[in-house]
Amino acid sequence: MAWLTIIVCLSLFVSSDGVLDDLPNLYGVAANLGCNQFLKLIEDAGMADNLNGTGPMTVFAPTNKAILSLPPDVLARLSSDKDLLKAVLSYHFTTDVFNSTTYVNEMLIPSEQGANIRINAYPQPQPIVITASGAQIIVKNIQAKNGILQVISKVMFPLPNGTIFELVTNDLHLSTLFLTIVKANLGWALSSPPLTLLAPSDDAFSKLPAGTLTTLLNDIPKLKDLLLFHVIGGSYYSAGFVNNTSVTALNKGTLNIQISSGNIFVNDAMVTTADVSVTNGVVHYIDKVLIPPSFYH
């Protein structure tokens, strides 16, 4: 912990000219914080010079655990495809100087990769949770000579590169959802920012009682109501979900959040894939279609 004392001590003098020069650059700061896996990827991508550049810049460094817990196929792809690795790592760099104390919820910061990094702040659970494209910032605002380092809980992925509606359009497992959205003419609504979509897969739709889908497709107001029960205003990454709380969907219905053994449940549906970033928000895949309570009356 000695280095922490040194950094904290030095930061007291950051405002006086010259002392910033005594700080390590971002490479050194990341090394001091023990971000070895991140630095290893940086070295593999030949990007060490970027971390040692003159800056100023902000770098979001995933923890060792975040990198080591990536699925093996993702790690394998990153180590065999240098361009992909560079793109993913460049998404963690920005020439913006981002100090989390001056966050603005839903703020977009252009990354070096090109795609924006979305900043969110969730007032609950206390203390406030700040995320960068869904990855929680767990060590905040470490000053380096050439910028600021933020340590994050997950690797951020810039892809896919489209709106919620484009994601639904292109995902073959969401073909029923796509059909219903087109039928209800809600494509435009799902292209405006920022929103969260709880996306029932084709499997989820197949669990509906026989005839339900046909009935819905013939009753557009009801279909719209059902679809808007799957949409939340604002970007709710999983870091913003709090156990035993509720959120209001765009149809004004209530969605109850339960977290159990690391799984997130929204009403009786389970989130199967969380935190898929899109240009106008975030998508979580769910295993059941959410039925608005009014349907039972």
Give contact residues for ligand NAG (rule: CB under 6 A): 24-25, 27-28, 48-49, 52, 99, 101, 114-115, 141, 143, 148, 159, 161, 243-244, 258-260
Cβ 38 to ligand NAG shortest distance, Å: 14
Please tell me whether residue 178 adopts helix, strand or coil conformation.
Answer: helix
- Phi then psi for 106, rounded to 5 degrees? 70, 10
Cβ 158 to ligand NAG shortest distance, Å: 7
Cβ 24 to ligand NAG shortest distance, Å: 5
Sequence-ordered strand ranges (E) for 56-186: 57-62, 93-94, 107-110, 116-122, 129-132, 135-144, 147-152
Please tell me whether residue 128 adopts helix, strand or coil conformation.
Answer: coil
Between 49 and 83, name the residue whose CB sits nearer to ligand NAG: 49
Given a contact cutoff of 8 angstroms between Cβ atoms, the answer to whether 174 and 201 are in contact is: yes
Q: How far apart are CA 271 and CA 3, in angstroms?
A: 40
Cβ 159 to ligand NAG shortest distance, Å: 6
Residues 6+ apart with CB under 8 A from 119: 98, 103, 104, 105, 106, 107, 108, 109, 130, 131, 132
Between 29 and 135, name the residue whose CB sits nearer to ligand NAG: 29
Between 109 and 259, name the residue whose CB sits nearer to ligand NAG: 259
Cβ 53 to ligand NAG shortest distance, Å: 9
Between 143 and 280, name the residue whose CB sits nearer to ligand NAG: 143
Cβ 213 to ligand NAG shortest distance, Å: 31
Other Cβ atoms less than 10 A from the Cβ of 12: the count is 9
Cβ 149 to ligand NAG shortest distance, Å: 9
Between 26 and 199, name the residue whose CB sits nearer to ligand NAG: 26
Q: Which residue is nearest to ligand NAG (CB)?
A: 114
Between 215 and 246, name the residue whose CB sits nearer to ligand NAG: 246
Other Cβ atoms less than 10 A from the Cβ of 221: the count is 8
Burial class of residue 41, CB neighbours in 10 A (0-12, 13-18, 19+): buried
Between 48 and 138, name the residue whose CB sits nearer to ligand NAG: 48
